[in-house]
Structure 1
Amino acid sequence: MQQAPQEIAVHPAATGTKSLSRRQLIDRCIGVGALLLAPGSAGAGHAMHGAPGASGHMDMSPTSGVVPDAVVPATDQALVEPETRRSADGMLSTTLRVGYAYRWIGGVRLYVRCYEGASPGPTLRVKPGDTLRIRLINDLPPNRDRLPADISQPHQFNNTNFHFHGAHASPSGIADNVMRSMAPGHSYDIEIKLPEDHTRGTYWYHPHHHGSADIQMSSGMVGAIVVEGDFADVPEIAAARERLLILTQVVFDASGMVEAFETLFPETATRFLAVNGQRRPTIAMRPGEVQRWRILNAAYQDDLLLDLEKHDLQVIAYDGIQLGAVQARKRVLIAPGQRADLLVRAGAAGTYALNAMPYDQGHPSPVGALARVVVSGTPMAMALPSALPPPPLETIRDSEITNRRTVTFSATAPEADAAGHWQEFGFFIDGKTFDPNRVDHRIKLGAVEEWTIVNTHEHDDHVFHIHTNPFQVVRVNGETLAVPEWRDSVIVDRKGGEVVFRSRFLDFTGVFMLHCHMMNHEEMGMMQTVEVYQP
């Protein structure tokens, strides 16, 4: 295994560098000598492969040199949850290999970037106070392009890094630092220490390297993180079988790959929806059984409106933060990056569809079957909780506020929006595209601030997300919430939509991001830096 090169800085504040960054130096040195994506270029694990077609058929003649692999049923197989890796004695130490892998999904054979050869990647389960230690091995081939002058042009799809989405942890050094650039052919150490009082719940990880994150996430480079212990003292929840449902949008080109931004940007690009890398899997339940579903929307672009036929959905947590009371919902809207923890109590024997229903976010969200719930067998007498414990984070009072600020999302589009090429669009925050060398917001450690997020874009909703510190939503489109909600991501409606939230900037200094979690928009510049500093 090669040793990691000297750490590559994307932002001068991350290392204190003032001159040409090592990343720029590497980009200039690679030049036209970079290898093209070809068989064997990603290491010994890819020495034998061909180019898959959209239909999944390949030449299987005796002289083809291709070893056939097992075909996975297109739909209706039992739900399979990812491999689980758990902490022990305060530590989860593991490796994550990033490389190309074949995936059968929905009857199509894909060849895409994955963690550990699977999509989703392994589920990481930790406890408050634990340390997450990862050796990330970037086994992707060298990049085929140089760093562009405009970094809001998607680029260098084989650079990566690691983001613990929703974590209240340090954004600096080798912790949850999305300023790091992890080049192909090297290994990198990541070490994230969780506070002893970290909120317990459902989180996730994904790449966050500007230029390549959208391509990699849409390929299936995502995985869940569970901080254990939430609702441990609620017997009805503790007794419920736990299920993990990671929702993704499946997209690919004519070769069954994701190798160009044109594959992602059209609003109709999604081929179908998936749960845990499966198309329309089956979830088995018994009549009267209560299950706890940890749902993660790891889609690269779109909101999903969830509906379980003839069943209510009982929400107990959003974005990894426990609610103080159960919310009974007919449907649950979940944006990219968001999580919703639900209790589902099965009705009478039968088969019920879990669907993504039509939803207008400025363009139609993808719709269709996500899963089937098959209820059968001996009934179970399980109850829903009558009450939940108090939420883990205290409400932010008016008297705590030390500063207020406004952040504005906007965009430009060609007149014939639907026919426009992605390079004709622009996505901005406060009128600017992302610049890693600019600090957009400086905040004193310990500040408590109220932010107003405004969306002036006429055509699209956006999804505001900020790293490191969760926030409490208090007002949406001028309406004060009866019960403020803690989140780390929130939808901001188009045409003047407005969200007001409050946040405590505690515990950690350093530079981190706010951005739209519709990753097409983030990749094209809808991101800013935030620096929390010690006075």
Structure 2
Amino acid sequence: MNTSVSSARIRHQRTALALCLAFAAHGAALAQQSAAPAEDAAALRVAAPPVLARMLRSTDAPETAQKLLTSAGARPLDTREAKLDLVIGLTTSKIWNPATQRNDTVELRSYKSPGTDPNIPFVAPTVVTAPGETVRIALKNGLDPEPDCAQPSLNTPHCFNSTNLHSHGLWVSPSGNSDNVMLTLHPGVSFEYEYNLPADHPAGTFWYHPHLHGSTALQVSSGMAGALLVRGARLPSPTRNGDLDTLLREASSDQPMAERLLMFQQVAYACRNSAGKIKTDAKGNWICDPGDIGRIDNYDDQFGFGTWQKSGRYTSVNGVVLPTFTGLQAGKLERWRLLHAGVRDTVNLQLRALNARVAAPVGLAGVALENWVSKNCTGPVLSQFEVAADGLTHGQIIEKRENVLQPGYRSDVLVVFPTPGRYCVIDAAAPASASVTQAAEDRQLLGIAEVAGPFAPAFEPRALILQQLTASAERNMPNEVKPRVLAELRDGLRLGAFVPHRDIPKSEVNGNQELYFNITDDDQYQVDGNSYAPKQARDLILGRTEEWTLTSKRGGHPFHIHVNPFQVVAIYDPSGKDVSVSGEPNDPQYANLRNTWKDTLFVKQGYNVVIRSRYERYIGEYVLHCHILDHEDRGMMQNVRMLVPDGKGGGISANSHH
């Protein structure tokens, strides 16, 4: 993966060619996104922020690798460790506002690390590691003290300058200084997190973000989030599945396939008047006048139903609003790692060719820009071929015309553009039932992709993918598994030799769990009828395999559980129809989910979502919650206590001495 910066690429012109460039001028010339071969895990410890510097590759000479590590601010380390220093502080910077065609000044909480680009500070460094390695993140809370931050209720957002850290999706211990979200790091406190990835940890796309109850949404919405990539080099064998990374390699060489990371964020900053009210224009959209400073400081009017749409803000990609993606080549297959690190909006990713003769929509925003997109982003929809979700490889590649990403989701897709030209990267329209906003969403432009020539011969994307993956398998797979890998690819692009977990049959299930989300009429956010209470927990027993039924009584909510992922069994709509294969006519997000592995899954109101999970290896206390993070902060969370079996059918707490 290579994401570079080039100020020469972004100019504010009033010509047709400047369509995409005009969008990017606001970002201080920082939005260029280029792809390069992915690196071998052993060659890389910590990558700079996605828009700052390219990652190392396995082909780099040692002296080149050391130079790049030094320039990125990382220290030479043992080859089995990844190390990152993070300092949390208030950062003043600029964010482009399409409504006014100028940069807004903002002051937001952010992660700072050696090498952080001051022009794009609201996106954290990308950490790259491998199975069997240790990730160490030295976190220092440099925010100002809050001596009187406590609230009368635990589930009233509070203590916005206190924090902790969560490694979302990692299969590691939830205790001690590992993925322990029960810790509180007050201002002035430093703490080193240590994530010991087991040797059999899945390779995939994960991420990290704050997770202190009461301040999570405010801090994540400020841009405090970063990607955490686990790269794998394990080839499949007759007795063990391998890492998908070993297959996603160039057809003509043994080099990794080109890839790029797209991290979506929703930074809901606002400027206030002398009375403390959010400034708005005549249409009700939030505005910041010259000289104002935008901040995120209040849950009551900056989060909640309808606030993101009312704000008029735009989803950013890798810290930039309306970027231009370059380095794309017609007919060249790429791996895109999509990561929804936002709080308050569903991203329905769609790629469409742009009318080549259209003029640049300089000065357009809001409804006017939506209308422009509807009129000019009219080319055929490009398919995205999903190979993994939430960092977990699928048993079969899933073709998607729209890729619905809820907060917390990750999606690894193979993408190929058929011809040179410009393409619209769109957040497509979505019905109310499919969105975390619980309101119908209009389409929004996320950015423009510039695809270079020459024209590639006409091809069918599935056939191209099959051709390249079979060529890679012929070159890279061991002889004892090569026939199986090739046969599965030719049988509908199946990836059975690379799935990280065994299917969970009904015969393995030895317990059941039920869970429902609800928001009461008096605005209580609940799991199973209770708002979050840290002394209450759902007891589970290590070694069991259980089937869960998830539902929601009011609104749709992305269910997320820490530590152990789950496999989707069925998704029943209110009429009792299982839509986990076919999906729904007006909402594609449930299509082809049956048997896939996830760690976050949207639960629509009135639906019954059935999943299964094995409780393996790790004991201790962690949480499950709604990943609309202000819902979590207001109480839609529950502790999970994983117990040691007592030999009598029950469990014993890790803290018990009897």
Length-normalised TM-score, structure 1: 0.80
Unpaired segments ≥5 residues, structure 1: 1-70, 414-423
Specify which of 541, 558, 582 is matched with residue 463 of structure 1: 558
Specify which of 238, 243, 248 is matched with residue 260 of structure 2: 243
Contact conserved, 2:395 with 2:596, CA < 8 A, in 1?
no
Q: How far off its partner does 1:231 sit? A: 2.0
Specify which of 395, 401, 406 is matched with residue 335 of structure 1: 406
Q: Distance in 2 between matches of 1:534 and 1:328?
A: 41
Percent of aligned pairs with the same amino acid? 33
Q: Distance in 1 between matches of 2:535 and 2:456?
A: 58
Q: Distance in 2 between matches of 1:154 and 1:376?
A: 48
Aligned twin of 1:20: none
Contact conserved, 1:79 with 1:278, CA < 8 A, in 2?
no
Q: Distance in 2 between matches of 1:367 and 1:273?
A: 12
Specify which of 603, 615, 634 is matched with residue 505 of structure 1: 615
Aligned twin of 2:238: none
Unpaired segments ≥5 residues, structure 2: 1-24, 35-49, 56-71, 97-102, 233-242, 272-292, 353-379, 470-488, 582-593, 646-658
Aligned twin of 2:32: 78
Q: Deviations over 1:136-190 (max 9, x none)?
A: 0100111263322311100000000000000110000110000000010121111
Q: Deviations over 1:472-509 (max 9, x none)?
A: 01110141745411000001011x11111000000000
- Are 2:639 and 1:529 equivalent residues in the alignment? yes
For the residue of structure 2 that corresponds to 1:450, the secondary structure is: strand
Aligned residues: CA RMSD? 2.1
**Residues 327 and 462 of structure 1: CA distance in aligned 2, closer, same or farther (over 3 Å):** same
Specify which of 511, 515, 539 is matched with residue 407 of structure 1: 515
Aligned twin of 2:343: 300
Q: How far off its partner does 1:324 sit? A: 2.0
Q: How far off its partner does 1:220 sit? A: 0.4
Q: Distance in 1 between matches of 2:305 and 2:508?
A: 44
Q: How far off its partner does 1:239 sit? A: 4.4
Q: How far off its partner does 1:406 sit? A: 0.6
Provide the aligned length of Structure 1 versus Structure 2: 451
- Are 2:209 and 1:206 equivalent residues in the alignment? yes
Specify which of 459, 478, 484 is matched with residue 595 of structure 2: 484
**Residues 390 and 186 of structure 1: CA distance in aligned 2, closer, same or farther (over 3 Å):** closer
Q: Distance in 2 between matches of 1:198 and 1:115?
A: 27
Q: How far off its partner does 1:196 sit? A: 0.6
Specify which of 325, 328, 331 is matched with residue 288 of structure 1: 331
- Are 2:524 and 1:426 equivalent residues in the alignment? yes
Greater helix share, structure number: 2
- Are 2:244 and 1:231 equivalent residues in the alignment? yes
Aligned twin of 2:83: 93
Q: Distance in 2 between matches of 1:371 and 1:170?
A: 38
The structure whose Rg is larger is 2
Aligned twin of 2:302: 263
Amino acid in structure 1 at the alignment position of 2:140:
I
Matches within 5 A, 1:42-61: none
Amino acid in structure 2 at the alignment position of 1:231:
L
Q: How far off its partner does 1:236 sit? A: 4.7
Greater CA deviation, 376-385 or 194-203? 376-385
Matches within 5 A, 1:125-524: 125-143=128-146, 145-229=148-232, 230-236=243-249, 239-254=256-271, 255-261=293-299, 262-269=301-308, 270=311, 271-284=313-326, 285-309=328-352, 310=380, 311-359=382-430, 360=432, 361=435, 362-365=438-441, 367-379=443-455, 383-384=464-465, 385=469, 386=489, 387=493, 388=495, 389-413=497-521, 425-439=523-537, 441-457=538-554, 460-477=555-572, 478=576, 479=578, 481=580, 483-494=594-605, 496-524=606-634
Contact conserved, 1:76 with 1:372, CA < 8 A, in 2?
no
Amino acid in structure 1 at the alignment position of 2:196:
K
For the residue of structure 2 that corresponds to 1:333, the secondary structure is: strand
Greater CA deviation, 235-244 or 325-334? 235-244
For the residue of structure 2 that corresponds to 1:141, the secondary structure is: coil
Q: Distance in 2 between matches of 1:73 and 1:184?
A: 31
Q: How far off its partner does 1:436 sit? A: 1.0
Q: Deviations over 1:247-300 (max 9, x none)?
A: 011211113110111222242334111100101111121111111110000111
Contact conserved, 1:96 with 1:115, CA < 8 A, in 2?
yes
Greater CA deviation, 119-128 or 233-242? 233-242
Greater strand share, structure number: 1
Length-normalised TM-score, structure 2: 0.66
Q: Deviations over 1:318-340 (max 9, x none)?
A: 00001122111111111100100
Aligned twin of 1:102: 92
**Residues 380 and 179 of structure 1: CA distance in aligned 2, closer, same or farther (over 3 Å):** farther
**Residues 313 and 162 of structure 1: CA distance in aligned 2, closer, same or farther (over 3 Å):** same
**Residues 144 and 372 of structure 1: CA distance in aligned 2, closer, same or farther (over 3 Å):** farther
Contact conserved, 2:155 with 2:531, CA < 8 A, in 1?
yes
Q: How far off its partner does 1:532 sit? A: 0.4
Amino acid in structure 2 at the alignment position of 1:272:
Y
Q: Deviations over 1:176-220 (max 9, x none)?
A: 000000010121111110111001000000000000111000000
For the residue of structure 2 that corresponds to 1:232, the secondary structure is: helix
